[in-house]
Amino acid sequence: MTETRDDDQLKDLFQAARACPQDPGAPLLARVLQDAEAELAARQTSAGSRTVSVRQTTQRDWGTGWVRALGGWPAAAGLSLATCAGVWIGVAAPEALTRIAQSVMSGGSEPDVFIFADGFGLNEEAM
Amino acid sequence: MEMPFDTDPDVSDDVLLARFARGEASAARVLTLRLTPVVMAHAFRLLGNRAEAEDVTQDAMLRLWRMAPDWQPGTARVTTWLYRVTANLCIDRLRRTARSAPLDTVDEPPDERDGPAETLQMRARSAALQRALDTLPDRQRQAVVLRHIDELSNPEIAGIMDISVEAVESLLARGKRALVAVLAGRKDDLGMLQ
């Protein structure tokens, strides 16, 4: 067979080639290893940056997330106003409210609407 | 730079690459010692030029380091992947430089300090083979080097070159026939069989 004859003629050369490999040498080995170490360092730096980025995003959400949960700033403003009104009423309640509260707390009958109206400057005639 | 010997001969390339992907620098040292010579030897046989082979070797190993996190253990051999990457880099380089003629593979003059005559003859034969390999088409050269110098099987070569085993056999037959023809004029110098 042609192939066998070719193999016979080449086998000594192939054997010589296997016996004389090109040694990479220390400088090339060092460069390859430096590349590996640089790749490891780059990966660690990249992972650290991603961690900081996630942390920052979380902190930002903590400051504004509740506003989004309420439906935005208009809704948050309305809630704030209602809260302030409630505090004001509690601190400086009109006289009529005070009487109603006392009536209710003492187990009295239904509060008198007219008494309620009176505390707000509305006279009975207007009612 | 003094490099330690491969201290983990029983640990597979797969395992070492996974360790490297997890950040173990020691795995990088072992892989460097183990795989760089393989890549360098293959690149030199494909390019016929040491300086270019060194560039390709460093490039191929750099791709290995970058690919490590995505490596799927058990799907293929690391060396198979490296052979393929090395060959692609070599062929790209050859096509970029539009090298139609073989490179000047300068024979190193015999040095009496190199040892016995047998060693000198081995080196002469190796250099002559390289000059002949340089004349082959890229794919024939790749197949012949993988089979007869790197000593891989035809199925392994088929996997690396992404062709059928029959195609590998065809490349080998044509490549060796061409080598014999090129070397015919130097039979006596090389002590080749008639």
pLDDT, tens digit, 9 for 90 and up, residues B64-118? 999 999 998 888 899 999 999 999 999 999 988 765 444 545 444 444 455 677 7
Residues of A in contact with B171 (CB under 8 A): none
Has residue B17 got a pLDDT over 80? Answer: yes
**Whole-angstrom distance, CA of residue B160 vs CA of residue B142:** 10
Triad B23, B30, B42: Cα angle to 5°: 115
**Whole-angstrom distance, CA of residue B148 vs CA of residue A19:** 12
Triad B159, B164, B170: Cα angle to 5°: 115
Q: Which region, left, alpha or beta, applies to residue B48 given φ > 0 means left and ψ of -120 to 50 means alpha? A: left
* CA distances from residue B97 to B53, B91, B146, B154 in whole angstroms, order as listed: 14, 10, 23, 30
Nearest to B183 by CA among A9, A28, A47: A9
Number of Cβ within 10 Å of residue B135's Cβ equals 16
Residue corresponding to tokens 């010997």: B5
Nearest to B29 by CA among B56, B7, B53: B7
Q: Is A15 exposed, middle or buried (0-12, 13-18, 19+ CB in 10 A)?
A: middle
Provide the whole-model pTM.
0.68
Please state which of the ranges B30-39, B107-116, B170-179 shows the lowest mean pLDDT: B107-116
Q: Do B125 and A44 touch (CB under 8 A)?
A: no
Residues on A contacting B at a C-beta cutoff of 8 Å: 2-3, 6-10, 12-14, 16-24, 26-33, 35-37, 39-40, 43-44
CA A119 to chain centre: 49
Which B residues in the span 149-178 are in contact with A, Cβ-Cβ below 8 Å?
149, 151, 172-173, 176-177
**Whole-angstrom distance, CA of residue B87 vs CA of residue A91:** 85
Per-residue pLDDT of chain A (127 residues; tens, 9 = 90+): 555 777 887 999 999 999 998 899 999 999 999 999 999 999 888 777 665 655 665 555 555 556 665 666 666 677 777 776 676 667 665 665 566 556 655 655 554 444 444 444 444 444 4
Number of Cβ within 10 Å of residue A101's Cβ equals 12
Alpha helices (runs of H) in chain A, residue ranges in sequence order = 2-19, 25-70, 73-91, 95-105, 113-118
